[in-house]
Structure formats: C-alpha cells, structure tokens
Amino acid sequence: MFGSDTNCVVVVGAQWGDEGKGKLVDVLAERADYVVRYQGGANAGHTVCIGDTQFILQQIPSGILHDSCTCVVGNGVVLDPQQFFDELDGLRAKGIVTQGRIVISERAHLVLPYHKQLDRAHEKSQQIGTTGRGIGPAYEDKFGRRGIRVGDLRHLDTVKAIVAERVVRANALLKLLGSTDLASVEAHHELLERLAPRLLAMVADAGQVVYRALKQGKRVLLEGAQGAMLDVDHGTYPYVTSSNTTAGGAAVGAGIGPTAIDEVLGVVKAYTTRVGNGPLPTEAEPAMEEQLRKLGGEFGAVTGRPRRCGWFDASVVRYSVRVNGLTGLAMTKLDVLDTFSELPVGTSYTLNGDLHEEMPSDIRTLGQVKPRYEVLKGWQRSTGGARRLADLPAEARAYLDRLEELAGAPIRYVSVGTRRDQIIEVS
C-alpha cells in the first residue's frame, strides 16, 4: 500500500471487528515509520503471531513489534492506564524494546476504575454486549465535557479533586442501578499518583508529531479497532461501540486533516463473525457455526467470548466500502474454509418478498431480513502454503474473484494462516 505517492494509510475493519487487522498492520508496519492507534480502548485486541510467540495488543499499536516503528496513541483513544502498563511490561518481558518508541496524546481521555464499574452495572440491564472495560462511560464523560485527559495529570492536585467529585457522582448512579460495587476515592487517588509520572514521560502533542512526520515524508499507518459495523454512527446501533471506527474517525482521532490520508484498506474475513448481541443476517446454522468457530479459533482476544459465525455477507462489505471510502480489501482467514465442499455467500436480502441490495439502516429491519445466498464450490485443499495467487486452488481464486466483484473493491492482500509469512500480496 505504501508507495511514492502514498505516505498515509488507514487500516479499518470492514465487518464487525475481529477481522485480523493486527496481522495486516503488523505486515504493513514493516514498511512504516509510525503506527497510530486512533480510537477505542482496551475493549479491542489485535493478535499477532511471530514464530511460536503470540502477542495480544489491546492499546499499544501493533507497530511496537517492529523496532523501526514509533507508536502513537492518538487523542481519539480512551486510555486505561493500568492495563496499558500491564501490556507494556508484558511486551518488555518478552524481549520487545519499547523505550522511547511510544507517544501518548496529551488529549487522550483516561478510563478509570469507576468507568468500568458503571459499564458493568449498565450492561446488566441493557444487554448490549459490552466488554465491561469502561469504554462507553469514558466516552460519555468525554462528550459530556467532564473527562480527565492524560495531559491533565500535569496538575495532579486539581485532577484528584475532580476525580473525587466524579467518584461521588458515579457511586450515586451505581446505587440507582442496584450495584453494591462502589468506587473508592482513595483507590483512584493512589492509582493516579502511581501512574502519572510514567504516563507523563510519554506524553506529547500527538497530532503535531504525526503532522511533522508526514511533512518529512515519513510513512504513517493509522490503525483502528473494532469494525465498521460497530461504528457509533454507521453501525448496527445500539449494538455498537462508543466511537467512530470508520475511516472518517482516523483523521479526527489522530489529529490530522482528512486530506493527509492517501489510502484506506478494509480488512475482511472470508466469512463473517461478530461478538455480542445484535443482528447477524448470514449467521450459520448451529452445527456449521460451531465448525467455523472451531476451525477459525473464533474466541475474543480480550474476553475469550465465543464469536457468532456465519457466511460472507456482501451487503455488509459493500456498505463498508461506501462509508469508509475503501481503496482496497485485505481478505483474511481464507484457510479456515479449506475443508468445505460448498460455500454460501450472502449477496443481498429479502423481506416480505422485497429485494434489498443494500444493508438496511433500521436495526429492526436488519434483524428480520433473510439473506439471499449464492453457493460457490469449495476447494477442499490446504491453502496455508500459498504465497502467490497462482498457488491457490482454482476454486479459491474463483471465490476471491466473486467476493471482490460483489464487494466493489479490489482485493490487495490474502491471508492464509496466522504466521507473518502466510500472506499473499496481490500485485
């Protein structure tokens, strides 16, 4: 994706998240100078396998696994400081050099323990399917103009007074929600005193850092979390996350203008998954769903929750192409389909006899539609050793060609396994 006229690339999930963005970012980061995480928090995990070692990255950008990359946590992120340092220390224990390679935006908001307590209490009544990591309440505080930003820690006494008031407010709400798990002012103050010096050592005006890098001709990769269908504006609301996961959020969350972006790569699985509640039109029948889950290892990187599994939904990906302005696709987990003799592909929907080529925006309608399937022939051979398109079975190439046609965007990469080398770059 990087070239003489391409210095800034966005990588987004084009389905419901868990598409394998971590591996794609890891591969592209080898050619990048900066990798920027632009939204979300510790509710998302990118899994990268290097040899026999597996890395699960929740808040630190995937570029940390390449010594030449500087990693930036953008202003659009809500940062859980305790989890961040647990992750950082875990990387160091595995031999990854992190010193001087991470920049945290002074404008990023903090996720504090009371946010997590509120999140868990709300989830008991709402059943949205959140991870309980405090992401929603932290964004609520941000847009309610009562949040704490990383840069505010320079004035710790003032922050501690504000947090004490926030904890009192949170406890009142927790009681109304019937929770007995109340927040402690003292515990919050101890956390901030302990972590503030480490955080402030990494703080900068991250937008300026990225802007200057681009002006110097550096290659910058903007990395999103979750997927387009979980975007708070464009996803299957209310079964969404609390930030803009689509490419439009990349410029805002990184602190640069949209004209700085040259390419947008959408990552899609060769089938479909989602975690949590909400509609999933092409969800497979239980026996086939379990087979997909087992073959694909479809369990959440952060929570371990089993993912719901189904067939490729072209209407979802077409929609994602449109709302993200995708210039290319990266198809992951093609190898998971190696053993199937037939592969249904959802091409459109029907409802009460009416044809819907596009994904309905109304959540109730989307929950009622029936997918129209086109059944393609499986290849029933291993694809894990393929390193060129020509190495793939003819049926696998035909499958990719049809998905590309239905999606309306070119496939640039095909992943056929978890290792770094198991990826095909389409020329």
Residues catalogued as catalytic: 18, 46
Cα torsion angle, 131, 134, 136, 137, sign: positive
Cα torsion angle, 228, 231, 233, 235, sign: positive
Nearest to 324 by CA among 240, 407, 202: 407
Contacts of 274 (CB under 8 A, 6+ apart): 15, 16, 17, 18, 229, 280, 307, 308
Neighbours of 94 (CB within 10 A): 11
Neighbours of 296 (CB within 10 A): 21
Separation CA 277–CA 127 (nearest Å): 8
Residues in the chain: 427
Neighbours of 201 (CB within 10 A): 10
Separation CA 29–CA 139 (nearest Å): 28
CB 108 within 8 A of CB 77: yes
In the structure encoding, which two tokens stand for residue 59, read together? 């808040």
